[in-house]
Amino acid sequence: MTVSAPDTAEAARIDRVLAELAEGEAAWAACGLTRRRELLEEVHAATGVQARAWVEAAAGFKGLPERSPLRGEEWTSGPYALLTATAALTETVRALEAGRSPVDDYTLGRAPGGRVAVRVLPHGGRDRMLLNGFSADVWMPPGVTAAEVRERAGLGLRAPTATTGVGVVLGAGNITSTPLLDVLYELYAHNRVVVLKLNPITDPMLDVFRAVLAPLIRAGAVRVVTGGADVGGYLVHHPRVGHVHMTGSAVTHDAIVFGTGEEGARRRAAGTPLLDKPVTSELGGVSPVVVVPGDWSEADLRFQAEHVATQRLHNGGYNCIAGQIVVIGRDWAQKDRFLAHLRAALAAAPARPAYYPGSDGRVEQALATHPGAERLGRGRVLLPGLRPGAAALTTEYFAPVLGVLELPGGPREFLDRAVGTANDELLGTLGANVLADPVTLRALGPAFGAAIARLRYGTVAVNAWTGLGYLTPTATWGAYPGHTLDDVQSGIGVVHNAVLLDAPERTVVRGPFRPAPRSVLHGEPALSPKPPWFVGNRTAATTARRLTAYAARPRWSALPGIFASALRG
């Protein structure tokens, strides 16, 4: 592949940036744990100051009106995500400063297969109140002992002076916290100084991002640049750059690593990368939503249909972790009622602009390749009655397109088939969602845990959306381990992981099947109302803004206002 070079002035600018970072690496190596913690605290404070400007900039390029509840997505997946991440990472650094393992403050349990599981959510009393009924566990690979988990946690912070060069982060163009979270992980987990290259879609965020990262920029550890594919290509192939991390699609990944066209295809087939340096990535895929047959009330059917619609339509459908294939029981007596509620939820969700490039074309592609496709208005498409081999199973549409695949059998047989289908027929391994009522879960018993263990996904959510795994800073985020450059699927490596666990396998998130107050009436230990990330939540923007203010400056007096807004959602 011939990389289009930037013009002379642009190349000189990038050269200067990388030369500054090469010098900054020595300054970063000289930063002990205390100074690194202080820098995190300064970034946290800067995020709080910039939070409103951040949301205004993000809502601007996404076309969200000033009073739209959808702006809640920009609060939670923007400044709120970074605030909680810097707070959690600060706690990890404090533990290492005190000579303790970051894991010491977390409960270690057991998962199927004898795995060690680290309970990362809830962590503390505030989590138990704000996310009541939700939990998250990081599973370590089989054979790793609890002692090894404790000894290895901390990653690059265990030897701060042993820096690992200059890295490039090619930033995401959809979720605005992703580029900054990736920068923090490069710095703190891998001990690597970073140049962040923004996706052109997010260029309006430049001033906010530089203001938030100002403490790290002044320390010489970070630079932020803009530009097109020519700048990205120049950066990743630059001799001063030793590592590349990217968020995007597998197509973009392969173009960077192997090149494009016939030459790129030959290199990929031969396993001979054009790029001669390590590459980590988070690349999305086709995420399943497995609906296990059970005896649901009409309210259950309606709520979970809105849950599934949210998994597809959050951020307009432009999420790596958006649910794309609903796997449902062909023999389930309530199948048709559930699908009726799902159609209604998709159609009723608030309208929004198709801001991500190529969206309309991908929607038309889905319509053209699936004869039974249904237009539900406002650009949404449902693909019912999919069969094995359908294009939707292996094409990440990155648009408001949702498919339905029916499999036979009662709960146990269906679940077994669904796991096999998700593992073997769907593209990618980033995240899988499973919905099952408590009665069915009890009837399945250990077989359900075994099914979750069989799912080869980096995040698995049970009665929750894997997006909560993204928002949990102490959870891990990334593909299931084992992918290679020439078969990258959903990527290589993990990010977030604020506890800095070494080589985790996956995160398992759990939530309540029913929201409060119905959860209480049915004996579920959950007090959560409709989550603020639901696309139909009427007070999402207010709740998320108050949550962000609380994350910036935690105080008990802020909680009543958060709960009051959440209950009105």
d(Cα 144, Cα 252) in Å, to the nearest integer?
A: 34
- The pairs formed by 54-60 with CB atoms below 8 angstroms and a separation of 24 or more are 54/78, 54/79, 54/176, 54/205, 54/208, 54/212, 55/79, 55/545, 57/204, 57/205, 57/207, 57/208, 58/176, 58/204, 58/205, 60/204
| Pair (236, 293) in one structural domain | no
Does 487 score more than 70 pLDDT? yes
Residue 32 included in any domain: yes
d(Cα 136, Cα 496) in Å, to the nearest integer?
A: 14
Domain span holding position 237 = 8-101+154-247
**Which of 121-125, 453-457, 484-488 has the weakest average pLDDT?**
121-125
Q: What is the pLDDT of residues 340-359, one digit of tens each?
A: 999 999 999 999 999 999 99
Contact 448, 435 (CB under 8 A): no
pLDDT confidence of 1, banded at 50, 70, 90?
Answer: very low
Q: What CATH number does residue 46 fall under?
A: 3.40.605.10
| Pair (243, 296) in one structural domain | no
> Nearest-5° angle of CA 491, CA 492, CA 493?
125
d(Cα 563, Cα 559) in Å, to the nearest integer?
A: 6
Q: What is the dihedral of CA 80, 526, 124, 560, to 10 degrees?
A: 60
| Pair (184, 294) in one structural domain | no
Q: What is the pLDDT of residues 136-146, one digit of tens each?
A: 999 999 999 99
What is the rounded average pLDDT of the residues 308-325?
98
Q: What average pLDDT does the structure give for the chain? A: 96
- End-of-domain residue from the set 197, 217, 247: 247
- Note the pLDDT of residue 3: 53
What is the rounded average pLDDT of the residues 468-487?
97
Question: CA dist 488 to 188, 285, 462, Å?
Answer: 25, 11, 26
d(Cα 428, Cα 438) in Å, to the nearest integer?
A: 29
Q: Provide the whole-model pTM.
A: 0.97
d(Cα 227, Cα 378) in Å, to the nearest integer?
A: 32
d(Cα 472, Cα 265) in Å, to the nearest integer?
A: 37
Contact 309, 340 (CB under 8 A): no
Does 120 score more than 90 pLDDT? yes
| Pair (310, 198) in one structural domain | no
pLDDT confidence of 4, banded at 50, 70, 90?
Answer: low
Q: What CATH number does residue 383 fall under?
A: 3.40.309.10
| Pair (513, 403) in one structural domain | yes
| Pair (19, 161) in one structural domain | yes
Question: CA dist 560 to 188, 323, 369, 372, 566, Å?
Answer: 35, 33, 50, 48, 10
Q: In 3-state terms, what secondary structure has residue 288?
A: strand
What is the rounded average pLDDT of the residues 155-180?
98
Place of tokens 């089989």: 142
